[in-house]
Structure 1
Amino acid sequence: MCQKGRAWIELSRENLAHNVRELQRILPKHTAMMPAIKANAYGHGAALVGKALQDMGISDFCVATVQEGIELRLAGITGQILVLGYTHPSQFNELAHYNLVQTVIDYPYAQVLNDYGKALPVHVGIDTGMRRLGERSDAIEKIRAIWSFPHLKITGVYSHLCVSDGTTAEERAFTQLQIKRFRSVVDALHKSGISGFKTHIQSSYGILNDYEPSFDYARTGIALYGVLSRPNDRVRAAADLRPVLSLKARVECVKTLSPGEAAGYGRAFTAASERTIAVVSIGYADGIPRNGSQTRYALLHGQKVPIVGRICMDQLFIDVTGIPNVAPGDEAVLIGSSGIQQISASDLAEQSGTISNEILSRLGSRLERIEVRA
C-alpha cells in the first residue's frame, strides 16, 4: 500500500494525459509519439508512466539501455521499445529475448550486431551534426551498406537535433541544416531502392519550436512531463503543458537557534538573530542537489521558505521563522505547489545551476512514486 512517508513523489495521470493530447495536437496526424521513458521516465517512474501511456493508446517507446527496456517489458509494455544507446554484445541475447529494437550507432557496430548471427530489429542512427552517435550523414555509402547485413531487420532511421532549444538565428539555421542532412540521407536510401523504414529526428524542443514535424515518430521527452529545461525557455508552439510530478517531504523536527548559533555540516548557516528552523526528511541521496545558489527555497503552509545550510544526505534545513504552528509531520514541497505558491523543476534546476532534465532524472529510488488526482 502506498504511504506518504518521509519523502515521496506524487504523479498526476490527468496532467500526463493532458500533455499527451497537447503534443498530439501540435504534431501532424501521421506522426506517432515515441515517448522517451529513459532514466526511470525522467525520474517519474518508468513502469507507472509506461503503463499509463500504453493505456492512452501509445505503442512506441524509447529508452537508453537494455535494462530499461527489460523493465518496461516486465511491467507489461507490449509495443516497440527502441534502445537509443550502446548495448554490449554480451546482452544481445536479451535484445532478442525481450524483442527490443537496438540502435545501430555506426557501421562497425552494425557488423558486430550482424555477427551475433540471429535476426535483430534495429534503427539506424545518423549523425547530422551532434557528433555523438550515428554514422555520419555524409558517409552515404557506409549507410547504404548497413542494409547488406542479413541479420539486421532495419525498421527505422533517425537522428538527433542538438540546438533545437535555441532561439538565435544561428541555432535555428543549424537545426534546419541537420534536418536537411537527414532528409538527404532518407532520399538517397529511397533512390537506392531501400524502403520500409520509419523516420524520426525531433525530441521535445524540435516539436515545440516548429521544425517541420513531418516524420513518422516524435521522441517526446521533457515536454511530456510538463516542464521545460529552463524556466526562461521560450518556444514557438502555444502548448499548455502541465507538470506531472510533485516532490514532497516531511518536517522531522523544529528547533530554535539563538543569535550566533550555527547549524549543519561545516556550521554553514549561522543565525544572525533568533531563528526557527525545521529539519526536512530529504537530501542529496534523494536527488536534491548539494551544490547551488544560496537563494534556494521550499514551500511550507503555502509560503516560500529559504533552504539554509548545507544539504545533507538525508535531510535539509529550512528557515520557518515567522510561520506559525510548524510541526513534525508537516509537508514541505520541493517541486510542486502549496497554496498559491509554486516551484517548478526548472526553478529548482536554475537555483542549482543545471537543467530540469538532470534534476528529475536524478530523483532517487527510495522516493516512493504515488499516483494522485490532479
Structure 2
Amino acid sequence: MNETPPRVHAEIDLDAVRGNVRALRERAPRAELMAVVKADAYGHGAVPCARAALQAGATWLGTATPQEALELRAAGLEGRIMCWLWTPGGPWREAVEADVDVAVSGMWALEEARAAARAAGRTARIQLKADTGLGRNGCQPADWAGLVQAAVAAQAEGSVRVTGLWSHFACADEPGHPSVQRQLDAFREMVEYAEKEGVEPEVRHIANSPATLTLPESHFDLVRTGLAVYGVSPAPELGTSAQLGLTPAMTLKASVALVKDVPAGHGVSYGHHYVTSAPTTLALIPAGYADGIPRHASGRGPVLVGGKVRTAAGRVAMDQFVVDLDADTGVRTGDEAVLFGPGRHGEPTAEDWARAADTIAYEIVTRIGGRVPRVYLGS
C-alpha cells in the first residue's frame, strides 16, 4: 500500500548533525563539547539529535528545562546532561536522582538542590552560574562570594558537589563588541575567586555557538553549541553556514494542495493585500502559522516550487498560504514545494526566511510546530 503523501514535513539529516558536531570539535580541539538540545533540539527532535551528537563526539547534552533533561533520561540517553532554567518547586529531586547536573544562580536554588539531595539520599551535582553581563539568569558579582561560600559549605556536608562554573555571552555574535572582553574578564575573576575558596570544577564554560566559532580564548574546558549543531549560522555577521563549515540539517517541504488559474484583479488571502495584476496561476501551499510559518513573512516568504523560487502572495494564514506562479502551467497539484533547506539545490534557507520575517534563523527552525512530522535521514 502506498503511503499518503504528507501535507508538510521536515526532513532532518542526522548525518549533517554528526558532521556539524565534528566540525565544531575541530574548532575547539582542547575542550569538551556540549550539544544543546533544548526546545526539542531547536525543532529538530531532541532524542534523535542527541544520539547523533553523542555518536559524533559530544560529551555533554544541554537542556533549558529539567523536564527536557528528564525526557532524555527516560529515552535511555546516558552520560552527562545539564539543565539550567529552574523555578522554585521544580523537579529538583527527580533531576538529582537522574544524575542531571543542575544550574544554581542564587541561594534559593542552592537550598532546593540541598533539600533534593537529602530527600534522594545522594549528592546533587550543581554548576554555579555567574552573571558576567548578560543580565538574565546567573549570580551577580556582588552576590558571588556569598553563593560560593554557601556552596562550599554544602559541599563539605556532602549534599552537593560543584561540578562546574559557567556564564553566558550577550554579544558573542557581534565580533568585536566591547562587552565580550568585559564578560571574559569578569568570568575569569569569578572563577578565580571560586577556586580560591575551594571549588574544584570539572568544567568551566562560557562559549556558545558564535564564541566557539570565533573566540578560542573563551573555550576553557567546555563549549556549549546549540544552533550550530543543526548547521544554521548563529549570526549572518559571522558568515553563512557553508562559510562556517556547517550543513543545515532541516529541510521543510510541502505538497502543493491546489493549482488554479485566476483573472486579473483577483484578491489573494485575507485582507487582499495581494491582488493579481494580470491573469495568472496560483498554487496553494498547505502550511501556515499553526505549523510555524511566520505570519510576518506574508508577501515575502520564499518557496522553491516548479524549479523557481516564488514568494508568498498575500498573507500567511493559519494553515496555508499562496504563491503566484506567473501563469506557469508546469506546476501540478501534488508537486513538491521546498520552503527551506541547506540551499544546495537553489531552495531558500532558514536565513532567507529570517530576513523575510525580520527575525533570526533560530526562531525559524525552532518554531516549526509539533503537527509537522519529522522524517529522519541517516539514522
Matches of 1:234 and 1:289, distance apart in 2: 24
2:157 equivalent to 1:157: no
Greater shift in the superposed pair: 99-108 or 243-252: 99-108
How far the C-alpha of 1:139 sits from its partner, in A, is 3.2
Question: Which residue in the other structure is 1:310 paired with?
Answer: 315
- Residues 286 and 352 from structure 1, CA distance in 2 versus in 1: closer, same or farther, beyond 3 angstroms? same
- Taking the TM superposition and a 5 Å limit, the aligned residue runs for 1:143-292 are 143-145=147-149, 146-149=151-154, 150=157, 151-167=159-175, 169=176, 171=177, 173-234=178-239, 239-292=244-297
Change (3 A) 1:179 1:332: same
Is 1:38 matched with 2:38?
A: yes
Q: Does structure 1 residue 48 correspond to structure 2 residue 43?
A: no
String of CA shifts for 1:223-260, please: whole Å, max 9, x gaps: 1111124445449x963111111111110011212111
Secondary structure of 2:304's counterpart equals strand
| Length-normalised TM-score, structure 1 | 0.92
**Counterpart check, 1:353 vs 2:358:** yes
- Please give the alpha-carbon distance, in whole angstroms, between the structure 1 residues aligned to 2:173 and 2:236: 13
Indicate the larger mover: 315-324 or 276-285: 315-324
Partners in 2 of 1:69 and 1:47 — Cα distance?
Answer: 10
Contact 2:303 2:337 in 1 (8 A): yes
**What is the alpha-carbon distance in structure 2 between the residues aligned to residue 249 and residue 285 of structure 1?**
14
Question: For residue 71 of structure 1, what is the aligned residue in structure 2?
Answer: 71
Indicate if the aligned counterparts of 2:33 and 2:222 stay in contact, CA closer than 8 A. yes
Q: Is the 8 A contact 2:164 2:204 kept in 1?
A: yes
| CA drift at 1:147 | 2.0
**In structure 2, distance between residues paired with 1:153 and 1:65:** 20
In the alignment, the residues of structure 1 paired with residue 343 and residue 73 of structure 2 have an alpha-carbon distance, to the nearest angstrom, of 36
Q: Is the 8 A contact 1:105 1:125 kept in 2?
A: yes
2:143 to 120, 127, 139: 139
Give the AA of the match of 1:240. Answer: G
Of residues 119, 122, 132, the one that matches 1:128 is 132
- TM-score, scaled to structure 2: 0.91
Question: In structure 2, what is the equivalent of residue 62 of structure 1?
Answer: 62
Task: Give the direction of change, closer, same or farther, for the CA distance of 1:337–1:226 in structure 2 (3 Å limit).
Answer: closer
Structure 1 contact 300–338 (Cα < 8 Å) conserved: no
Of stretches 194-203 and 35-44 in structure 1, the one that deviates more from structure 2 is 194-203
Please give the secondary structure, in 2, of the residue aligned with 1:127. Answer: coil
Percent identity among equivalent residues?
A: 31
Partner residue, 1:114? 114
Distance 2:273 2:105 in 1: 47
Distance between the aligned counterparts of 1:238 and 1:276, measured in 2? Answer: 37
SS at match of 2:41: helix
1:83 maps to what in 2? 83
8 Å CA contact 1:107–1:135 kept in 2: the answer is no
1:25 aligns with: 26
Rate the CA distance shift 1:238–1:10 in 2: closer, same or farther, 3 A: closer
Aligned to 1:320: 325
Question: Number of paired residues?
Answer: 369
Write the deviation string for residues 79-125 of structure 1: whole angstroms up to 9, x where unpaired: 11111211442422321333222110222321232233343211111
Q: 1:44 to 1:2 in 2, by over 3 A?
A: farther
In structure 1, C-alpha distance between the alignment counterparts of 2:282 and 2:306, rounded to whole Å: 14
Q: CA RMSD in A?
A: 2.3
SS at match of 1:212: helix
In structure 2, relative to structure 1, the CA distance for the partners of 1:339 and 1:152 (3 Å cut) is closer
Q: Following the alignment from structure 2 to structure 1, what is the Cα–Cα distance between the partners of residues 221 and 231?
A: 23
Change (3 A) 1:355 1:213: same
Greater helix share, 1 or 2?
A: 2
Q: Contact 1:37–1:63 at 8 Å: present in 2 too?
A: yes
**137-146 or 359-368: which moved more?**
137-146
Offset from partner CA, 1:330-373 (integer Å, 9 cap, x none): 11111126884131111101110110111111110111111225
**Structure 1 CA distance for aligned equivalents of residues 373 and 234 of structure 2:** 24
Q: Secondary structure in 2 aligned to 1:199?
A: strand
Supply the AA of the counterpart residue of 1:283: G
2:5 and 2:152 map into 1 onto residues whose CA distance is 52
How far 1:18 moved relative to its partner? Answer: 1.6
Specify whether residues 67 and 339 from structure 1 end up closer, same or farther in structure 2 by C-alpha distance, changes over 3 A only.
closer
**Residues 340 and 194 of structure 1, relative CA distance in 2, 3 Å threshold:** closer
2-side partners of 1:339 and 1:260: how far apart?
36
**CA 1:190 to 1:13, structure 2 compared with 1: closer, same or farther past 3 Å?**
same
